[in-house]
Amino acid sequence: MLELTMAAVSAAETGATAGMLMADAPSEPGAVLRVGRDKSVCRLSTPDDWLFVSRVHLEFQCLQDGTWQLTWLRGSLSEPSSEVRLTVGEYAHPVAYGGTVALPRGGSGEVVIQDRTAARSVNVGFYHEV
């Protein structure tokens, strides 16, 4: 099972946890959880006017062996309006635009979508239960 929690944070709300959204999916091959502005496709949706987040920005997908991977999907722009980083333990790693990274099996961490032009972010915590 992969569990996600998401909070949209602006400069005025730094440290706030109110309004967190949650989603989960079983660790079955082909299971998918998406994060973005499009509520019809994404289990976790950001505010409509947060244009630094694509319609479908992040995709968490379960592979054949039950592990999960994260993909930062390429949007319609050649250069993104945000940066994405994955933090596991003490280590933060940037995720490439259009790139895919493996999530630790049985681990937890956070994926942050940071607006390049304003002090706001989308923070997605994850926990992979084995």
Q: How many beta carbons lie within 10 A of that of residue 2, not counting itself?
A: 20
pLDDT of residue 53: 95
Per-residue model confidence as pLDDT tens for the chain (130 residues)? 999 999 988 876 555 544 688 999 999 999 999 999 999 999 999 989 999 999 999 999 999 999 999 999 998 889 999 999 999 999 999 999 999 999 998 889 999 999 999 999 999 999 998 7
* Cα–Cα dist 101/88, whole Å: 12
pTM value > 0.85:
yes
